[in-house]
Structure 1
């Protein structure tokens, strides 16, 4: 039986591509890649709707090293889409033997994304993956030259599609016909496509050569302010962010809470000077219910169980905040 590995991002296009191939009687195994910037949550939901198995491949370390200096550069933000796709293809190529699979399928659509899915970019991915002769793009196959799989009769080219461009009407209609009703918005799964996250990541890489996984996790939280090369302030927006921030704190970090008012959990990440502590207290005052007061009393310490120090601070002004805020 012919078998294909389907790269499942968790979006609609990759799911439709897998379903299109599956409906030709081909066994389809989903492959989802996990990194510091995207995961398997959406992919797990999508494969259930088309009834295929899913293998999750964690390539976080290799992906992060590539992301710091991608050969083909970044997209609009910090997203190295061309290099990322080529890396995924290489990994899939190594999995062909393991799963006794004949080829790889993706949900790419010609010209849907101007930088990463134009004809030149698709060819770059094909050539640099090392397994270009094994790659099939079912949704736009008729706009491309026939693959060896089509020539050899492993798959019927006439049953493939000729979608192109950014309009997603065809995909949405196809999803409705196939009963795929729960799917995320396009490009919603990768943090590197988000402007604010990308600004924070660039700031981190500018100040720390080898960030840890905790450093990367912290980028997702609250408002962030750069103090120095070795430290920054994070101010949470929600209780959930507060819980996550506490989980990420180390013995070097300091937590701040307003004594008499509900509000943001604030932390200095890294080594703090007395000046840093004063400013963190002012940030804490600014993002609590007492922001309108002249002075707010702030408790601080290593964690919420040892806030044994205090400082009175005037809530920070917008001008002061803007001098330090990362996004």
Structure 2
């Protein structure tokens, strides 16, 4: 975690607060809607600020500081959005944004003289030139690049997340599984996930639950797959075909796939299946 690395380097204590569960509920139905994909930016900030506000009260702090810049993010860093976030987090007047403070109304700590407003900045907009210059002044060189960020802004991951929300009530395990492999939806109740690389096999195996079945090639190095949901013999056949399709056996007329109950390894058997129709693969795959 970047914040932990920075805190260790600068000797600043850091408090890690896990907001995963509450955030997941927000992703399923955000009050303030999504961004371009499945990113509920405003609701996400409210969730984080609420947690920070609770910790602020716990330790007896007077206010919260963030590194936000007005106009840098199109959804959550607009002036009205910032006001909404502060209000719904119960922190109106208590969030100091020193990088862009002079574009905003004075906060309570400024009004009470805890912070000198004259020394605050007025950075605004998408460019990060001013922040980079500021980093140079304070001789800060190891800072993250501006690109990247929330997975929910990634079209492929967002589409998988949307599919999961539309077909059930995904938990943390399923969300973690969305990050790996190729995902196929057999029907409303059943999914298949096939690893893409060898290093993903261990992740797939770790995330498999006792309700899942694992599939792997017999006598051939290849992917590990999970079938999850309502499982029938016909669905196991399709899962086996999808597994074979991602292996070196895809050019063979048929392939043998080992099927076993996840975690227990019980009920192991070998299923011989013909190659799957490529058009069916495209139809089943959860795409962008």
Q: Which residue of the partner structure matches residue 138 of structure 2?
A: 178
Q: Which residue of the partner structure matches residue 228 of structure 2?
A: 269
1:129 is aligned to 2:84 = no
Q: Which residue of the partner structure matches residue 63 of structure 2?
A: 103
Shift of 1:82: 0.8
1:312 is aligned to 2:250 = no
Q: Which residue of the partner structure matches residue 156 of structure 1?
A: 116
1:115 is aligned to 2:75 = yes
Contact 2:227–2:239 (Cα < 8 Å) also in 1 = yes
Contact 2:93–2:107 (Cα < 8 Å) also in 1 = yes
Shift of 1:178: 3.0
- Bigger drift between 277-286 and 152-161 goes to 152-161
1:79 is aligned to 2:22 = no
Match of 1:292 among 245, 251, 256: 251
Note the 1:164-243 alignment, pairs <5 A.
Answer: 164-186=124-146, 188-208=148-168, 210-243=169-202
**Normalising to structure 1: TM-score of the pair?**
0.81
Q: Which residue of the partner structure matches residue 15 of structure 2?
A: 55
State how far apart, in whole Å, the 1-side matches of 2:32 and 2:14 are: 29
Shift of 1:60: 2.5
Match of 2:237 among 278, 282, 286: 278
Match of 1:245 among 204, 207, 217: 204
- Cα-to-partner distance string for 1:85-127 (whole Å, 9 max, x where unaligned): 1222222222223222111111111111112111121121122
State how far apart, in whole Å, the 2-side matches of 1:182 and 1:312 are: 54
Q: Which residue of the partner structure matches residue 99 of structure 2?
A: 139
Work out which structure has the larger RCO, using CA pairs closer than 8 Å and 6 or more positions apart in sequence: 1
Unpaired segments ≥5 residues, structure 1: 1-40
State how far apart, in whole Å, the 1-side matches of 2:113 and 2:166 are: 51
Shift of 1:271: 2.6
Contact 1:253–1:271 (Cα < 8 Å) also in 2 = no
Shift of 1:308: 3.1
Contact 1:187–1:193 (Cα < 8 Å) also in 2 = no
Tell me the number of residue pairs that the alignment of Structure 1 and Structure 2 aligns: 286
State how far apart, in whole Å, the 2-side matches of 1:87 and 1:266 are: 35
Secondary structure class of the residue paired with 1:132: coil
Contact 1:92–1:104 (Cα < 8 Å) also in 2 = yes
Contact 2:216–2:257 (Cα < 8 Å) also in 1 = yes
- RMSD of aligned Cα (Å): 2.1
Unpaired segments ≥5 residues, structure 2: none
Contact 2:184–2:285 (Cα < 8 Å) also in 1 = yes
